Amino acid sequence: MPGAEERDDAALLRDVANGAEDALAALYDRHAGWLTVRLTRRCSVPDVVDQAVQDTFLALWREAGSYRGGGDVAAYIWGIGIRRLIDAIRREGRTTRWLPWRAAEPQVVVSAEDQVLLGVEHGRLGQALAGLSPELRGAIEATVLDGLTTGEAAVLLGVAEGTVKSRCYRARQALRAALAQPQGGPGTPAPRRQAWGTP
Amino acid sequence: MTVNAGTVAVRAEGLSRRYGSVRALREVDLTLGRGITGVLGPNGAGKTTLLSVLATVGKPDAGRVRVFGLDPGDRAERVEIRRRLGYLPQELGYHRHFTVAAFLDYVAVLKEITDRRRRTEEVARVLAVTSLEHLAGKRIRTLSGGTRQRLGIAQALLGGPELLILDEPAAGLDPEQRLRLRELLSNMPGDPVIVMSTHQPDDVAAVCQRVVVLLHGQARFTGTPAELAATATGHVWTAGQRDQRAHLSWRGGDNRWRHTGDHRPAGAETVVPTVEDGYLLLSHRPSVR
Amino acid sequence: MTSPFPDSPGAPPPPAGSGHTTEDLLSRYATGAIDGLSAWSVEAHLMACARCRAALSSYVDARRLARNRSMILVRTAIPAGGRVRRLLRRCGIPDHVVSLLAATPSLRPSWILAVMGVLALVVGETALTSHGWSGHGSSGAPWAKDYLAQWTLVPYLLVAPLLALAGVAAAFMPMFDPSYQLTVAAPFSGFALLLVRTTSALSAALIPTVCAGLLLPGPRWLPAALLLPSLALCAFALAAVTIVGPIAGAVSSGVLWAMPAVLLVVTAIENRSPLEIVQWRGQAACAALLLAATVVFFLRHDRIESGPDRFGIRRMR
């Protein structure tokens, strides 16, 4: 039997479905790090993130059989992880007073080099997104990027569901407005259709 | 009440207990402080009875016991003692269909750890201390005897007890496991007061700070292992041939006979006694009463 | 590390030797020193790049990772009981009680199967004999007056409350709890533990018993009529335990039920129905017994706490 390092994620997941704890441990060693970091960006309370991470791998243990092999294992894990985070926030929210969950977003300007790397500069959509306020961007991130329902996004952002809906609406309006503006000078490349951002 | 160097955790005076016509304990006095105390004696000496009294599981017919200053005879204080206690009985039965982690979870509930998160943390902690993590999901019926003993110690450690009562923890262990047990006992997290019973003197010599020798229900010796060995000074000698009057003789690898007994011939070459010698001599001497 | 991020098609490859820049981005992402938009792009990239994912692990405290890891492995090792546990928890039963129930002998599949087996035997035997009776041409009288047919119900009458008693006895008799000494030496209230086990044992026994009773030919009220005797027997057993100890308590309770039934059979009188045991006078007697036993039990429940060698009779000096 190949060592854990050589088995790919899908093979590990199959082994987990067959009840191999070492496969679960191997998956944990591979994925727990980035999952923790990514969840921390949505909820800055370490205790809650720890619970979410544990619940995620427990869910993997119980439901690895339901992974249909389509799409990336990392994306599958993220899908489970973000929902376990929301459950954990719901449970915490019942007993503790509402605290600022999200890490405050710094007003850091990305260097020109990094912009090239990220391709952000290339998208008018990117610029339009950058022009949104953090709250509207947060709503878009939760509903579009993370694929949450408005109800789930409401738990994550710590606002009412109606607020999430109206923020999404305003964000879409703002994006449409920004994209509808006439093109800049000749040096500006044509806008690209990005994968996300479908209003 | 935390136990520091000077305080006494357990004080027992005049403990007596009989089962029918058998007197299991006769007026035993015992004091337990910091560190590991060994209760040494053959099978049937009353070790299990004594430890079960300390664990608030058995009741003496006569005598007085105070554990952490509390009286096990009083119901409320008894429960309080049990909160601070970890007990490994001599023949612990296990729910054999349970997994290791499930059994520990069950015992953790019995120790009043009701919060599930804390319980999981405690189980993970004792599994790590006893090096049983890789066996967490195994069913108990698939474990070997030595591993089951380790599980027994693990359950005793749940909740971080201040007093650990281990009844023959080394029974049935092979030599390597006995050594690992010594390692474990020396590195107990939280530094509890430990009392363990054994019929092997070298277990006592290895890790115990104090030893009580129990013979026929009586405490015949109380002191350090070195003192127990010292009681045999002058009673262990070597000779070229076998001496019939010695209690025990054997021929060593150097072809000389080593004798332990009460009648050393004058001029015989003495040997530094071990704990075993002290114990052996004690068991051959008639009891005071 | 030098390939462009896949979600920006057409982006020019970064200048050579800038592998460290991506690491720099990752580190700023990990420490939160990055604006939201760039973070999105990093995250999109993470979904496709295993190396960057692995690199992020070094930004999480190793002890935190290890602690979560061991917690996960412990939790996977405790069988969750899945649906049953969740159902019980939703009924408001606290989680630690559910853990205790997992260790109750009378809730184990083997025990429940045994109970069902006994019931199947009883029902089968009753069905056979009642068919036999009607095959021999019964008197044709209505059921209530057909005493002969009613005698076929005796096995069920005898067995049903005893099954409930057996379940409860398993809850308090030391021989059914392998780690009995731990239970005694633990601070958890022996009384609470007994109540949890008794309640669950009763439910586990009574439900199949009632169902089996409904399958029998006979009055529809029969299973319901056995509830009170079952409860009374169990209460008597618990009360007896506080006086004479577990084994004597269980045995005396069993005898208390079996004896009248056996007497009835032995002194079989043609025009008396065995169902009288559970009719009005019988029910009243059972209710009185239940009340008295419950009172005794609650008055003496502190005896349950004691050790295995003496079940509460002698006090410690």
CB contact at 8 A, B228 and B211: yes
- Residue predicted with more confidence, A122 or A95: A95
Residue in chain B closest to C100 (alpha carbons) equals B106
pLDDT per position as a tens digit, B250-268: 888 888 888 888 888 887 8
Strand partners, B239: B257
Rounded to the nearest 10°, the torsion over CA A127, A129, A134, A135 is 160
**Taking the domain B1-84+162-224, which CATH number applies?**
3.40.50.300
User: So what's the pLDDT on residue A71?
Assistant: 67
Q: What are the pLDDT digits (tens) for B264-284? A: 888 788 889 999 999 988 888
Give the burial class of B255: count Cβ atoms within 10 A of its Cβ; 0-12 exposed, 13-18 middle, 19 or more buried.
Answer: exposed
Task: Give phi and psi for B61, each to the nearest 5.
Answer: -75, -30
Q: What is the ipTM of this complex?
A: 0.81
CB pairs under 8 A between B and C: 130
| CATH 3.40.50.300 in chain B, residue ranges | 1-84+162-224
Q: Which of B59, B79, B80 sits opposite C307 (nearest CB)?
A: B59
> Does the pLDDT value for residue B214 go beyond 90?
yes
Q: Which of C56, C59, C61, C63 to mutate to test the interface with A (most CBs of A within 10 A)?
A: C56
| Cα of C103 to nearest chain B Cα, Å | 7
CB B232 within 8 A of CB B281: yes
On the question of pLDDT at B217 being above 70, the answer is: yes
Question: Which residues on chain C are in Cβ contact (under 8 Å) with A126?
Answer: 37
Chain A neighbors (3+ CB pairs < 8 Å):
C
Contacting residues for C165 by C-beta, under 8 A, at least 6 apart? C230, C233, C234, C237, C250, C253, C254, C257
10 Å Cβ neighbour count for A18? 10
The pLDDT-based confidence of B154 (bands split at 50, 70, 90) is very high
Q: What is the pLDDT of residues B19-55, one digit of tens each?
A: 888 888 999 999 998 899 999 999 888 899 999 999 9
Backbone angles phi, psi at B26, to 5 degrees: -125, 105
Which residues on adjacent β-strands are paired with residue B248? B260
Give me the pLDDT at residue C148, please.
61
pLDDT of residue A104: 56
Whether residue C74 lies within 8 A of chain B, CB to CB, comes out as: yes
- Using CA coordinates, name the residue in chain C closest to A104: C32
Spatial distance between the Cα atoms of C106 and C40, rounded to a whole number of angstroms: 55
Least confident segment among A90-94, C104-108, C266-270: C266-270
Q: Taking CB atoms and an 8 Å cutoff, what residues of chain C touch A51?
A: none
Separation of alpha carbons B175 and B178, rounded Å: 5
Rounded to whole angstroms, the Cα distance separating B119 from B159 reads 9
Q: Are C11 and C5 in contact (CB under 8 A)?
A: yes
pLDDT digits (tens, 9 = 90+) for A117-155: 555 544 677 778 878 888 888 888 888 878 888 889 888
**Within 13 A of B84's CA, how many CA atoms are on the CB side?**
22
**Cross-chain Cβ contact C47/A129 below 8 Å:** no
Q: B2 burial class (0-12, 13-18, 19+ CB within 10 angstroms)?
A: exposed
Closest residue on chain C to B114 (Cα):
C96
Least confidently predicted of A143-157, C85-99, C140-154 = C140-154
The one-letter code for the residue type at B4 is N
In the beta sheet, which residues pair with residue B65? B12
**Of residues C21, C57, C59, nearest to A117 (C-beta):** C21
pTM for this prediction: 0.80
In this structure, which topology does domain A9-95 adopt according to CATH?
Answer: Rna Polymerase Sigma Factor; Chain: A (1.10.1740)
Contact status, residue A120 vs residue A187, Cβ threshold 8 Å? no
Instruction: List the single best residue of C85, C104, C175, C181 to mutate versus B (max B Cβ within 10 A).
Output: C181
Interface check for C64 against chain A (CB to CB < 8 A): the answer is yes
- d(CA C112, CA A155) in angstroms, rounded, equals 44
pLDDT tens, residue by residue, C221-280? 777 778 888 888 888 888 888 888 778 888 888 888 888 777 766 666 555 666 666 677
CATH 3.40.50.300 fits A112-180, yes or no: no
Average confidence (pLDDT) over B154-177? 91
Element (H, E) at B67: strand B62-67
Q: What is the mean pLDDT of chain A?
A: 77
What's the confidence (pLDDT) of residue C9?
A: 41
Domain spans of chain A? 9-95, 112-180
Candidates B78, B102, B120; nearest CB to C71: B120
Enumerate the residues of chain B whose CB falls inside 8 A of the CB of residue C307.
52, 56-59
Query: Partners for C (CB, 8 Å, 3+ pairs)?
Result: A, B
Give the torsion through C-alpha atoms of C127, C133, C135, C138, to 10 deg.
-130
More confident residue, A11 or A122: A11
Contact check, Cβ <8 Å, A126/C72: no
Q: Is the pLDDT of residue C18 over 60?
A: no
Which of C:94-113 have CB within 8 Å of B?
A: 94-96, 99-100, 102-103, 108
Are C307 and B110 within 8 A, CB to CB?
no
Greater confidence (A49 vs C150) lies with A49
The DSSP annotation for chain C comes to --SPPTTSTTPPPPPTT-HHHHHHHHHHHHHT-S-HHHHHHHHHHHTT-HHHHHHHGGGS-HHHHHHHHHHHHHHHHS---HHHHHHHHHTT--HHHHHHHHT-GGGSHHHHHHHHHHHHHHHHHHHHHHHHHHHT------GGG-HHHHGGGHHHHHHHHHHHHHHHHHHH-GGG-TTHHHHHHSSS-HHHHHHHHHHHHHHHHHHHHHHHHHHSSS-TTHHHHTHHHHHHHHHHHHHHHHHH-HHHHHHHHHHHHHHHHHHHHHT--TT--GGGGGSHHHHHHHHHHHHHHHHHHHHTGGGGGS-TTSSSSSPP-
Do the beta carbons of residue B278 and residue B229 sit within 8 Å?
yes
Number of CB atoms found within 10 A of residue C17's CB:
8
- Which H or E run contains A79? helix A73-95
